[in-house]
Structure 1
Amino acid sequence: MSTSAPERFNELLCELEHCNEDEQRKKIGEMNEIVDRMREDEHKSVFSTELYDKIYKMIEEKKMTMENAILLLKHVGYCDVLKNFWNPFVEKSSLSRRFEKMIFEEEKKEKKNENFLVDLCECHLFLKNGSSYELLSICVPCLLKAASKKEESEETQKEVEIALLALCEIGFFNLKQEQYLKDITEIIKHQQKHRNLTKIAYQSVWDFFIHRFWFDNSLEEVIVNKMHFGREAARELEELTRNVNWKRKEVEPGKETREVFILMRWLQTFSIYFQSCRLKNEENVELLKNIVQVYRAAKGNNGVICNLCISSLRIAVQRRVVKVEDLLNGGAVDTVLEEMQRPKLNDNMAYECFQFLVNVSYRLKGKEKSENDEMKRKAIKMEIFEKMEEEGYEDTITTFHKIFEFLNKKYFNELPFNISDYFVYV
């Protein structure tokens, strides 16, 4: 009977206590390969608080060097991110506090070991330790410096990718502009000129930046007009959509192709971007068109991607980042109506679709001051209504009337019961 991945991993971990440093490194290489192959249930069965405490004890008793521990733990954290696994156990372990202490100690040294400090910061963020402002004020500049390396070797680009992915683990945390703005814009400008970052590294740069946008609207001019987020994201989406093998059947979470994983990250980033953005920009129009293209490619192949696309479109119309006519011409209205006609529509998708239509209707209600604008508004309203009639809109609304109350309770956002009347009167 063959040994399972968790069993073999634990066997190797026990063997580390009796090895010298070089032998440990070889066994850790094998352990990292096992981590690459683990399913989420296997991963959860292995990486418990007890395991992290055991590694901590081995370090303290000098049965494992810190360098070798980092070699293992950084790879585990990196895989967690790439496979979208969540591991809550390290935060409760002694190892978590050890990393925090070491970061502060290394930072205070007159002659810092910068590579070692980068490793510590990456482990700290990858393993989702609770962060403080003091810790992040060390980690952010340190990792941005590591991510600013210009060499194009495969090894350097992997280091850059890891540093940027670790930075994304900060998530929503309000930082001062002087801690990141100069470095992050320089990384983006260099990428726009040389195109040397990996796809996931470039997505991670923007993910980190857009999370700062959530707190600081003064970044809008930089992100939208100077760094051209809409243009860059649209181009990346187009390339990724082209490279995905959409004919593959849906697979279990954590087994997606790298391109699909990056697409999902982009779409999640768009939700934050559209929530924060106030400028109407032609690049946003192109971005929405590409989101529609992603939806069409994923339809029938990847339900998670389709859900993220519809959610992005809903937030975009709700936050008014484009005109209603752009939603119409870009295919967003058609996309939502197509989704509503699917034979199996889950509650979340029903909610997203109806909220999209409610917000379109809000924006088309009332009258314009200019006669020409008023005629244009009526024409757009009529065109949308005609599309809805063609797609059996009235029948769809009638079908879903019974679940409106349920959707309201589940999603805490009122859906009006007279939604079917919104586009009747032009």
Structure 2
Amino acid sequence: MRSQHPKELPFLVFANSKGEIEEYEGLQMAAQSAANYCKPNLEDLIELPEGSELFTLPGRLPVGIEKESGEPALLDTDPYDGTGTVQAVAAFMAPAYTSLYTTAYQTQDQHSPQLPLFAYTAVGWYDGKFWVTGFRSDRDKRQDTANFDQDLITLRTRKKLQQHPHNRLIQHLGKCCLTYCCPAARNFFLNRWEAPLPCSPVCNATCVGCISLQPSGCCASTQDRITFVPTVKEVSEIAIEHLTTAPLPIVSFGQGCEGEPLLQADLMERSIKAIRKATSKGTINLNTNGSLPHAVERLAKAGLDSIRISMNSAQLEKHTLYYRPKGFTLKDVEHSIQIMKRYQRHVSLNYFIFPGFTDDPDELAALSALIDKCHPDFIQLRNLNIDPEVYLRAIQHQPTQAPLGIRNWLGQLQTAHPDLQFGYFNPQVKK
């Protein structure tokens, strides 16, 4: 049985010149909240979740905590040979876990490479285990590593690909499943829970942290974007079978492997009508940036059950700096939420968690005001996958007060909005 928290603050971990990860008992692990180094509390630490990964951070030196003084300290050489180079280490936690702090490091110089699009959670070593600053934010096990048998996934995927050689969308999802190990695509081929319905090769935003399209010379996108617009037949062939045969079925437009699905509102509207003509089962969901309220209304009328709107910030300036929108503003996003609520549909906010900014008092005030104004039902606590320094520069973060801490931020939200639900995944909508 796993210990809930360590008995002592874990030791700092670092990567040596060979890329091997080692612990250093001369320093305790530190954590970071925006530009602030801190000493995590024991209750902020859990064992590294199964399915998580550890990354080395090139061009970044690890920062730890001196045990005697409690002050941050830089580790700039290998403590075991006195001369070797070292790199900071971070954890990329498995789905359903939310980060409380990012890893503590110091970038060496301006030539240090930009970090790829992952979340960088603080990690340490104690009692033979890695410990991270995070918590489980959703008990749903739909993307837990233990639920994925790769041999079975490969068998089921290849079989379905052979059965549907002319359905381009199924073929695309096959690549997502077998090449990128996308949990949603894997669950589709295993015929369970939530299945993806990507449909848009274009977007009306150029998000700083877009995971499917990045400018040349920048960090690489983590997956290829879909290159075609599927037909109603291709979409409904997937959705109808999934909704009528899978347990707790959800089908979702708007995936990481596409642009903005609202730009394909006509396709989605016709697809939803075709799906609902065949079955009333399950949940039809849309993951979106919420940019086109008139399109959202069309989809609500057609039978869309739920919407998940992604947001990095409830402040107009910060939202604009991150999304770099083309033809829409945060006001349009708010209007989309209000339209779905007018039609009595479920609304989630896919609210990107970034310690030090998310829990900034000004951001909390803005989010709380948006909740009071628009009345979303649910907040998904998703870690923002981005180089921390790139993000803070992009949104021009200049705090006027100290961050609250993610735990404190969450507690204040729950107190102020007792009817609001929190989690990580798109919930099954009860009808």
Query: Is TM > 0.5 for Structure 1 vs Structure 2?
Result: no
Whose helix fraction is larger, Structure 1's or Structure 2's? 1
TM-score (norm 1): 0.31
TM-score (norm 2): 0.31
